[in-house]
Structure 1
Amino acid sequence: MYFLIILAMIVSGLIQWRLRSKFAKYAQVGLQSNLSGRQIAELMLQDHGITDVRVISTPGKLSDHYNPTDKTVNLSEAVYEERSAAAAAVAAHECGHAVQHATAYSALQFRSAMVPVLSSVSKYMTWILLAGIFMLQTTAIPLWIGIALFSLTTLFSFVTLPVEFDASRRALAWIDRRGIVTQQEHAMAKDALWWAAMTYVVAALASLATLLYYVSIAMGGRDRR
């Protein structure tokens, strides 16, 4: 089980490297439509009748995200200004989340509802797991409590998958329908978003492997008593 966790970490690193290389490559491909990431985001929001969401620039690379709390599409500085296939993919994807929010997409609602719970859980989960491991020869209860808490983070990772895939689906359909990209640029945008989605897939599988690892420790401790 420990081997699976190490393997997931290695695969995650490789996918992150591949993702960055893909975005760097596609960032060099200028859009024939000559629209910036900001313009694309604003146009997608407008086309979906969303008027209460702002598009803003945020520091960092690949730091793009949609914030449902203050209703902002946060685009990294490069994506905000760039007029490339990569920028089109990211801007439309983040607006895909805004569309999900506006249409009450169930998976996003469930994921958002989990956020405050996980914020509280994360403060104590690691310490409870460590305490549970140290106390395993005496009692397995603290470890099982830690496992129950960790299972929430694993669930969150898997709930994130349909949210991300759906946002990409909406994004690709819209940029194609709106004529934002050519056929070649669409293929680049799709490839970039696929690699981005794979980071979430690996994260979910790594979380599951870690959860099963803790379960195996708890079961092993029970068998030794």
Structure 2
Amino acid sequence: MFMPMFYDPYFWVILISIAISSWASINVNSTFGRYADVNNHNDITGAEAAEMILANAGIQDVKIQPISGQLTDNYNPQTKILSLSEPVYNSTSISAVGVAAHEVGHAIQDHTQYAPMTFRSALVPVVNLGSNLAMPLILIGLFFGLNQIFIKAGILCFAAVLVFQLVTLPVEFNASARALKQLKITGILDNQELSSGRKVLTAAALTYVAAVVSSLLQIFHLILLFGNHNQDN
């Protein structure tokens, strides 16, 4: 019996996942762009803000460097390198300073051995392996006639990625909280600017929430898909 696409649960799971991811991406880019044209009252660049906050936190072993791209900012705890994207490194906007402070928040977490960050770093090799094996295992399972051992192993690999994303949530929210605290303590932003900076960091944090929801939906989709096949057999 023909079932219209909009009655198909698989269709809705995929559509909702795409919609959530798209919304999060559009939201963070639009929020960043809104405050990318608003300079902070001190005319401090993202790189200068990072230097000030690192100094205030007593951290001297972190190197700040520019990196190409937009919103590619990151902190590497292995190399102690804080990379700021071109729109952040030299910009004096509230968005730039907020993002730079967030990345320094990760450096402070590393410096203080923040437990969730340490745990997330330990998960990286497992997650990388799981993300690379997930689809091949499922495809092997399909090739051997819906072999449930391989399919379940593939789904478990996807679940490992989800665990990593869940652990990432407190790390990212804590880094933003540390950023806002440091921006206030150092006086880089005033109270009104802090409110705007909080909006930028909240929008960025929601992308991680969206990633968790999308992964949950993806795993649900796989269980729904192969669970139904299993029942049919």
- TM-score clears 0.5: yes
Deviation at 1:11, TM superposition (A): 2.2
CA shift digits 1:88-112 (9 cap, x unpaired): 1000000000011111111111111
Cross-structure match for 2:65: 56
Decide whether the 8 Å contact of 2:133 with 2:157 is kept in 1: no
CA distance in 1, matches of 2:177, 2:156: 33
How far apart, CA to CA, are the structure 2 residues paired with 1:105 and 1:133?
Answer: 42
The amino acid that maps onto 1:62 is L
- 1:101 corresponds to which residue? 110
Matched position secondary structure for 1:74: strand
- Taking the aligned partners of 1:156 and 1:11, their CA distance within structure 2 comes to 19
> Residue 168 of structure 1 aligns with which residue?
176
Shift of 1:164: 0.5
Counterparts of 2:134 and 2:183 in 1: how far apart (Å)?
42
Residue correspondence of structure 1 range 183-198 to structure 2 within 5 A: 183-198=191-206
Q: Which residue of 2 aligns with 1:22?
A: 31
TM-score (ref. length: structure 2): 0.91
Taking the aligned partners of 1:19 and 1:163, their CA distance within structure 2 comes to 18
Tell me the matched-pair count: 224
Q: 1:74 aligns with which of 64, 83, 88?
A: 83
How many Å separate the matches in 1 of 2:98 and 2:153? Answer: 41
Amino acid at match of 2:51: E
Residues 71-220 of structure 1 mapped to structure 2, 5 A cutoff: 71-137=80-146, 139-220=147-228
Q: CA RMSD in A?
A: 1.4
- SS of residue in 1 equivalent to 2:38: coil
Q: How far apart are 1:161 and its partner, in Å?
A: 0.6
* 1:60 and 1:77 in contact (8 A); partners too: yes
What percent identity do the matched residue pairs reach?
Answer: 37
Unaligned runs of 5+ in 2: 1-8
Question: Separation in 1 of the partners of 2:115 and 2:13?
Answer: 32
Give TM-score scaled by structure 1 length: 0.94
* Structure 1, unpaired ranges of 5+: none
Distance 1:148 1:125 in 2: 8
Task: Indicate if the aligned counterparts of 1:41 and 1:92 stay in contact, CA closer than 8 A.
Answer: yes
Residue 172 of structure 2 aligns to which amino acid in structure 1? E
